[in-house]
Structures are given as structure tokens and as C-alpha cells.
Amino acid sequence: MTPQRRAIVDCLAATRVHPTADEVFADVNSRFPMTSRATVYNTLNLLLDAHLVNIVEEAGLKRFDPNIEPHHHFICSICGMVEDIESPEKDQLTLLNVGNHVVESMQITVRGKCAACINRGIRADG
């Protein structure tokens, strides 16, 4: 594992904000300025293929989630912040009857205003 790939893994492991590939690139490039975007994208794709990260898609952005355990997300409708929601009820959700289909995974996304945006007095409508 190269130092750049290690920095990508460390970036994901140290964050709770579900960064985009560009945010990972900026973080890694601040420590390893010669890191290419291709290295970041290729490494993120390897991590996805190995099921070591998941993707949360919101507003056309792909955000990388290092938490591979079943969980849900809160997304701020103002700033776009993504945060994990742990729910003890999540296991009961797989009991939903979906006809002849087999439920393999489920993710609930809750949208609203995060505490930081509320504290700054920012409104979604301008």
C-alpha cells in the first residue's frame, strides 16, 4: 500500500462527514501534493469494489461512507451535511413485506436542517 493510498484510507476513517472524491483529493493532496486525482478515484473505486466503503448519493454528489454497517442518514437540506443515524429499530425494517422480492438492504434518508444551520439562522427558502 502506497503512502497516498494509506492517506486516502486514513481520510475516510477519520471523518464523519461522508466526503466527496474531490474532498478526499483535497485532504490527501494537502499532505501528499503529488497525488493525482486518478489515484484518489482509483483507490475509492477499489474500496467500493471490496465493500469497504459505501456511497451516499445526494443532489448529484457521490459521498463516500466508511461505515459499512447497516445504518441510515440525516442530510441537511441547507448545507448538504450527511450524518449517520444509528437506529435500534433498523433490524425490524427488513421484515417489511415486499411481495415476492427478497430484501437485501435498506437505507432510510431523513432530511431537515442541521443544528449548525439552525444556529446560523439560515433558511432553506433563502
Task: Using the predicted structure, report yes or no on whether residue 7 has a pLDDT greater than 80.
Answer: yes
Q: Pick the closest to residue 76 from 109, 107, 114, 108 (CA basis).
A: 114
Report the alpha-carbon distance of residue 82 to residue 76 in Å, rounded. 7
pLDDT at 81: 86
Question: Residues near 54 by Cβ (< 8 Å), separated by ≥ 6?
Answer: 48, 64, 65, 67, 68
State whether CATH 3.90.580.10 applies to domain 72-120. Answer: no
Task: Using the predicted structure, report yes or no on whether residue 125 has a pLDDT greater than 90.
Answer: no
* Amino acid identity at 103: V
124 within 8 A of 87, measured Cβ to Cβ: no
State whether CATH 1.10.10.10 applies to domain 3-65. Answer: yes
Q: Pick the closest to residue 76 from 120, 12, 26, 44 (CA basis).
A: 120
Average pLDDT over residues 71-83: 88
pLDDT tens readout for residues 10-46? 999 998 789 999 999 999 999 999 999 999 999 999 9
Task: Using the predicted structure, report yes or no on whether residue 91 has a pLDDT greater than 60.
Answer: no
pLDDT at 71: 84
Domain range list for the chain: 3-65, 72-120
* Selection from 63-72, 88-97, 116-125 with the highest mean pLDDT: 63-72
Grid look-up 459505501 returns 54
Strands 72-76 and 109-112, bridge-based pairing:
parallel
20 within 8 A of 80, measured Cβ to Cβ: no
Q: Pick the closest to residue 62 from 25, 95, 116 (CA basis).
A: 25
Task: Using the predicted structure, report yes or no on whether residue 96 has a pLDDT greater than 70.
Answer: no
Average pLDDT, the chain: 86
What is the distance, to the nearest Å, from the Cα of residue 66 to the centroid of all Cα atoms in its chain?
7
